[in-house]
Amino acid sequence: MSAPLIELHYISKSFGPLTALRSLSFSVGQGDVVGLLGDNGAGKSTAVNLISGIHRPTSGHLSINGQRTDFTCRADSARAGIETIYHNTALVDSFSITRNIFMDREITSAFGFLKQREMRDIAMQVLEGAVHISGIDSPEKMVGELSGGQKQAVAIARAVFFKRNVLLPF
Amino acid sequence: MLAGEFDLSIGSVYTFTAILMATLVAGCVSAFIAAPIGIIVGILIGVLHGLITLRFGMPSFIVTLGGLLFWRGAVLLYNGAVQVRFDPGPAFSGLFAGTLFGVNAAFYWSIALAAAFYVLLHNHKFGNHVFATGGNPAAATAIGINTRRVKIFAFGIAGGMAAMAGILATSRVGSVQPGQGVGLELQAIAACVIGGVSLQGGRGSIIGIALGVMLIHTITDVLLLLRAPGFYLDMFIAVLIVAAAATNHGIERRGSA
């Protein structure tokens, strides 16, 4: 049996005198869909931020594919294949869908110039193939013109295209 | 502005770097060495403003307002309230103040710089990061863009280009005065706002800004030719800033509705 994709081992997190999480343990396997439910202030956001590398645990640790891991920043979790999709902060409204999909992962020439046609063609394929989003006919559409659901779908399409193993819609 | 920050110090940086360059040339330093020194000092001043803004989490409006006053004072501290002649030699003058087909070199420099920044902003990875940083800093940071570095680069470019403007103006006039450049920052903001740059950052284009600059200067020239008093120009720019900002704001609100 393969190791869980993500495993939290007795993780606690305190912010000064406030304990946000106490001894949290759970695991997520390949193909699992897991919902994290709780009251306001239960620590859901803190748990997601710990998995995303935004916070570091006060005690306990995280394992990815059975390997003990210590994320120091969000880039570490992205390298491990984790994509956190924040509700309101995932996309730039003043950008097209193409530019949002390739934000910070632009396809460029040797000197950093954008290969715009290549990015547009791939974005079209992503929208047609990976995640079907109704109501979007062109990857050049500005994200500010999309509905909330369409925006989240674009963020998920981006994560799927970049082959993330774990998606954390938030 | 595109990166979501303001630089109100450019008028003072323009004067300070121009005076620095002119005094270096008066001290027998080649203008081809003094001009790059001026640009480097402009970039460093911009970077300093960026570092202070980001380090203390202050509004850039306040930090660069301080910069505006500080560098204006630094001009007087450095060289007193006297005009400095700028006599760089024929090669430098030809390059920065000569004419080609009856058009001043400053125009060609403006076109060349606008074209270079167009490519940088609209066709280069860096430009993408500038728009992302201004448009939604939280999303840009979350995706991994180093928004602090982008903003510091933007401040550096603003300072460097203020110095470049000082070089062009000083070369054309042949002298620099300590009172030069007053109000330039407001004209720059007016040009950006008229050109469609969002006051919140993240929206705008170099073509729009260039058209904004041309509009301001065309109307300025018309007012001068009509021999209108100087305060008409100030009033005109003030009205233009408010009207353009209100129009932009209205368009943005309609876009997000």
pLDDT in tens, A2-53: 788 889 999 999 998 999 999 999 998 888 888 888 888 888 888 988 888 8
pLDDT bucket at B255, cuts 50 / 70 / 90: low
Q: Do A104 and B145 touch (CB under 8 A)?
A: yes
- Asked if B88 and B185 count as a contact pair (C-beta separation under 8 A), the reply is no
| Gap between the Cα atoms of B174 and A161, Å rounded | 58
Rounded mean pLDDT, A128-144: 76
| Gap between the Cα atoms of A145 and A63, Å rounded | 39
| Gap between the Cα atoms of B173 and B19, Å rounded | 13
> What was the pLDDT predicted at B226?
85
For chain B, which residues lie within 8 Å of any Cβ of chain A, measuring from their own Cβ? 119, 123-126, 128-129, 131-132, 135-136, 138-140, 142-145, 198, 202-203, 255-256
Rounded mean pLDDT, A148-164: 78
Q: What is the mean pLDDT of chain B?
A: 89
pLDDT in tens, A53-97: 888 999 999 998 888 988 888 778 888 888 877 766 678 888 888
Residue type, B72: R
pLDDT bucket at A132, cuts 50 / 70 / 90: low
> What was the pLDDT predicted at A136?
76
pLDDT in tens, B217-245: 888 888 888 888 877 777 877 888 888 88
In this prediction the pTM is 0.81
- DSSP category for residue A31: T
Q: Do B138 and A104 touch (CB under 8 A)?
A: no
- Asked if B9 and B45 count as a contact pair (C-beta separation under 8 A), the reply is yes
> What was the pLDDT predicted at B37?
96
> Which site among B2, B136, B148 would you substitute to test the A interface, given the most A Cβ atoms closer than 10 Å to its Cβ?
B136
> What was the pLDDT predicted at A131?
63
Residue B68 has pLDDT above 90, yes or no: yes
Residue B257 has pLDDT above 60, yes or no: no
User: Which stretch, A134-148, B34-48, B243-257, has highest mean pLDDT?
Assistant: B34-48
Strands A82-85 and A166-169 turn out to be parallel
| Neighbouring C-beta atoms of residue B147, cutoff 10 Å | 21
pLDDT bucket at B48, cuts 50 / 70 / 90: very high
Q: What is the 3-state secondary structure (H, E, C) of chain B?
A: CCCCCCCCCHHHHHHHHHHHHHHHHHCCCCHHHHHHHHHHHHHHHHHHHHHHHHHCCCCHHHHHHHHHHHHHHHHHHHHCCCCEECCCCHHHHHHHHCEECCEEHHHHHHHHHHHHHHHHHHHEHHHHHHHHHHHCHHHHHHHCCCHHHHHHHHHHHHHHHHHHHHHHHHHHHCEECCCCCCCHHHHHHHHHHHCCCCCCCCCCCHHHHHHHHHHHHHHHHHHHHCCCCHHHHHHHHHHHHHHHHHHHHHHHHHHHC
Q: Do A91 and B139 touch (CB under 8 A)?
A: yes
Residue B155 has pLDDT above 80, yes or no: yes
Residue B47 has pLDDT above 90, yes or no: yes
Rounded mean pLDDT, B49-53: 95
Rounded mean pLDDT, A98-109: 87
H/E stretch holding A14 reads strand A6-15
> Which site among B1, B118, B124, B125 would you substitute to test the A interface, given the most A Cβ atoms closer than 10 Å to its Cβ?
B125
Buried b vs exposed e over B222-239: b needs ≥16 C-beta within 10 Å? Answer: eeeeeeeeeeebeebbee
Q: Does A75 touch chain B (CB under 8 A)?
A: yes
- Nearest-by-Cβ selection for B135 from A86, A92, A112: A92
Rounded mean pLDDT, B41-54: 95
Q: Do B136 and A84 touch (CB under 8 A)?
A: no
Report residue B230 as tokens: 């100087």
> Which site among A85, A93, A102 would you substitute to test the B interface, given the most B Cβ atoms closer than 10 Å to its Cβ?
A93
pLDDT bucket at B126, cuts 50 / 70 / 90: very high
